[in-house]
Copies of this chain bind each other. A is one copy, B any other.
Amino acid sequence: MGGPSPVPARSRGNLTINDVARVAGVSKKTVSRVINRETQLKARTREHVEGVIAMLGYTPNPQARALALGRNFLIGLVHDNPNAQTVMSVQQGILEALRDTEFEMIVRPLDRGSPTMLDEFRDFIERQRLFGVVLMPPISENDMLARLCEEAGCRYVRMGSTALDTPDRMVASNDREGVRTATDYLIGLGHRRIALIAGPQGFRSARERRMGFEQALGDAGIALPSSWVAEGDYLFGSGVAAAERLFALEPRPTAIFSCNDEMAAGAIHAARAQGLDVPGDLSVIGFDDNPIAAHMWPPITTVRWPIASMARSAALKLVFERSQDGADEPSLFLSTLIRRGSVGTPR
């Protein structure tokens, strides 16, 4: 009050471990032991120091910890996924797991096509001394990233459409089963001329989903001419194009399974442009349960995989040591068929 204060603005939050040690009447190392939950401490001492910490409102300085430990309390999210909703769901899941912990999430998109991609990734995890990373599909399928993590002493968990790694480093959905169930549903309704809009080659999810589709048809004794498979790139426009190719088939398919919702939306778009009624003339099933699926007309029947839950488990696996809170996190997640208006019986 009157003139600039000579006291640095450390009224709160700028307490150091020394302040705690002084008030508690112990050495800073003892405080450090309390913070790091080390075992060989007299219970009485621990409780006393914890009381002082709570009273003062002290929190350790992350920068100093990072320097001393050679490791930051940051979890990286590495992705090259073009689907905004998917990425946001993953972020939400990770942040939910990290809530009320000392960890923060740092996001890094990677360009799968770039020749410097691996170097960028290594620099990223090494320079930031990341505690761990969550690898999103499809780039999680690249084994080199996992290897670089190991070399850098950076923990990792991969997300994928099938198991690509050991359970403690993996959360997987069962895309193949999900698609098989969806295809069985179409077959059960009486469809026999069922076409596929496949995902791009080189994507494991595309392969898994396609296999589920082919297995279902095979088990039912239904043939699948190669012309009944149109490949897309998971984007809306490719769904339009793929559907147009499929509509030219003679006889025309009565149903289409699309390897994701965005392409399914494109297919419905194309159907409407040709005067085809969905589901009257054509049934469509997608994959993902992207919001677009619920908002299209008709709402699209789809296969839902629990993205946020998987990401949450991934982050928990990263943060908690084995045999601790996060140890029992599942590594396999089931998808479910969501029945909406885009499927009917064949005419």
Contacts and interface: CB of A to CB of B under 8 A. Distances in A.
A95 B66 contact: no
Given A13-B127, A63-B66, A236 B295 contact: yes
Contact of A108 (B84, B85, B104, B292): B104
A290 B117 CA distance: 29
A272 interface: yes
A328 B268 CA distance: 46
A67 interface: yes
A190 interface: no
Given A109-B95, A291-B236, A104 B88 contact: no
A64 interface: yes
Interface in A60-119: 61-64, 66-67, 72, 74, 84-85, 87-89, 91-92, 95, 104-109
Interface of A: 9, 13, 59, 61-64, 66-67, 72, 74, 84-85, 87-89, 91-92, 95, 104-109, 122-123, 126-129, 151, 153, 236, 262, 265-266, 268-269, 272, 291-292, 294-297
Contact of A295 (B9, B122, B269): B269
Given A84-B85, A295-B292, A297-B269, A106 B106 contact: yes
A128 B102 CA distance: 10
Copies in the complex: 2
14 contacts: A13-B123, A13-B127, A61-B67, A63-B66, A63-B129, A66-B66, A84-B85, A84-B89, A87-B88, A104-B128, A106-B107, A265-B295, A296-B296, A297-B297
A68 B127 CA distance: 17
A149 to B, nearest CB: 13
A319 to B, nearest CB: 16
Contacts of A127: 13, 59, 61-62
Nearest to A239: B295
A104 B295 CA distance: 35
Nearest to A271: B297
A117 to B, nearest CB: 13
A104 B123 CA distance: 12
A73 to B, nearest CB: 10
A107 B108 contact: no
Given A59-B127, A295-B265, A105 B104 contact: no
A331 to B, nearest CB: 25
A129 B60 CA distance: 12
A335 B61 CA distance: 43
A59 B236 CA distance: 42
Contacts of A122: 13
A269 B95 CA distance: 33
Contacts of A59: 123, 127
The 7 closest A-B pairs by CB, nearest first: A84-B88, A63-B66, A63-B67, A13-B126, A84-B85, A84-B84, A106-B106
Contacts of A67: 61, 63-64, 66-67
Nearest to A262: B295
Nearest to A240: B295
A122 B43 CA distance: 32
